[in-house]
Amino acid sequence: MAAPGENLRINGDRLWDSLMEMAKIGPGVAGGNNRQTLTDEDGDGRALFQRWCEDAGCTMGLDQMGNMFAHRAGADPEALPIYVGSHLDTQPTGGKYDGVLGVLGGLEILRSLNDLGIKTKHPIVVTNFTNEEGTRFAPAMLASGVFIGMHDQDWAYDRVDAEGKRFGDELQRIGWRGDEEVGKRKMHAFFELHIEQGPILEAEGKEIGVVTHGQGLWWLEVTLTGKDAHTGSTPMDMRVNAGLGMARITEAVHRIAMDHQPGAVGAVGQANVYPNSRNVIPGKAVFTIDFRTPDLDKLTAMRSRLEAEAAEIAADLGLGLTIEPVGHFDPVTFDDGCVGAVRDAAERLGYSHMNLISGAGHDACWINRVAPTAMVMCPCVDGLSHNEAEEISKDWATAGTDVLFHAVVETAGIVS
Ligand SMILES: [Zn+2]
């Protein structure tokens, strides 16, 4: 089947209007959005998306995790659908584009196919995954995780928010729990368009990120125990200072990540000392290490070296030490064929592009385990995301969706 012609384009104005219309639901306090998962606002956003999809001639599916599926028929009844999508839920102080662009970009593809009277061999299904953000109900990417069998559905239903409300009850309450068995759908391929949420594309002056890998991650929670003591009257050689241990381990995290270049990162982002008083030597420190790299060997090596160095530091200072893993993802390698379709699309359309590694988790990282998958990224201003000031240009959104359009249509095959 021939590749789509380079004159095939989506309607950037219509895409932008839809993004702005969706952003009116669950407005934030500073120009962004607060449309957290399974709130009334999430329900309103879903209803608007569903109405738009039905207007575009789609039939809708809804599974027991609230994942939404807008189906556009293909010419071959035997052919598995190409899935496209992301998430409509946001952070409490989130932006207008994180996730939303991937869902409404998918809808724009269907609208454009309708405008052009194009029939594809494979059906195309646009998806809104429930609770990608994981802020209200941890963990992130909860519903796509159930979809691929990573999490048990009953376990997901039992997740509670800060007020003790259950995920399953809230899904029922907003009226978006469907009957369809989760994960029964088979995909020919999956594509997700997302804003970069980092500064690389803008700094490099590229319009398109061809995402080849997703970072693997270890979160390690370290607890050091020493002895609370007066900062003024305790001699230096009699201190058991958990704060000092934390400082040395923080330094080690940075050094270990630097020793695993290129492509490895490490930091301590969350730290607490106890009792956290100006004139008390900390008797306890609890902090979280975040190591990431797309290379599994490096990821494993960074964790082992940290464990060894932390043990030495703790022994040297006389501190008690525990290290508990509190988060983990294996690195993701996206499908060569799908990644190639994204790169070819950018090339054909004349958009500047570069390979990129996704630094954040996405639904695509889970779906990649059950179907050939790739991601398209577009720049965002100053790399800012999970922030109400998150911003992209209409041109970037259009370029990203054009590339998504071509990659999806080429994979779906044009029959007329
Ligand atoms: Zn997102």
Instruction: Using the Cα atoms of residue 179, residue 184, residue 190 and residue 195 in order, give the sign of their dihedral.
Output: positive
pLDDT in tens, 50-93: 999 999 999 999 999 999 999 999 999 899 999 999 999 999 99
Percentage of the chain modeled with pLDDT above 90:
95
Mean pLDDT of all residues in 128-146:
96
**Dihedral (C-alpha) 289, 294, 300, 306: value to the nearest 10 degrees?**
-30
For the segment 8-39, what is each residue's pLDDT rounded down to a tens digit?
Answer: 999 999 999 999 999 999 999 999 999 999 99
Write out pLDDT tens, residues 203-238.
999 999 999 999 999 999 999 999 999 999 999 999
Is this prediction's pTM over 0.75?
Answer: yes
State residue 2's pLDDT score: 58
Task: Look at residue 4 and tell me whether its pLDDT is greater than 90.
Answer: no
* pLDDT above 70 as % of the chain: 100
CB atoms within 10 A of CB 354: 16
Tens-digit pLDDT profile for residues 334-349: 999 999 999 999 999 9
Residue 176 near residue 43 (C-beta atoms within 8 A):
yes
Per-residue pLDDT at 329: 87
Q: How far, in Å, from the CA of 132 to the mean position of ligand 1?
A: 7
d(CA 343, CA 359): 19
Average pLDDT for residues 113-136, to the nearest whole number? 97
- Centroid of ligand 1 to alpha carbon of 230 (angstroms): 46
CA–CA distance, 246 with 242 (Å, rounded to integer): 6
**How many A from CA of 296 to the centre of ligand 1?**
23
| Å from CA of 133 to ligand 1 middle | 7
pLDDT in tens, 251-264: 999 999 999 999 99
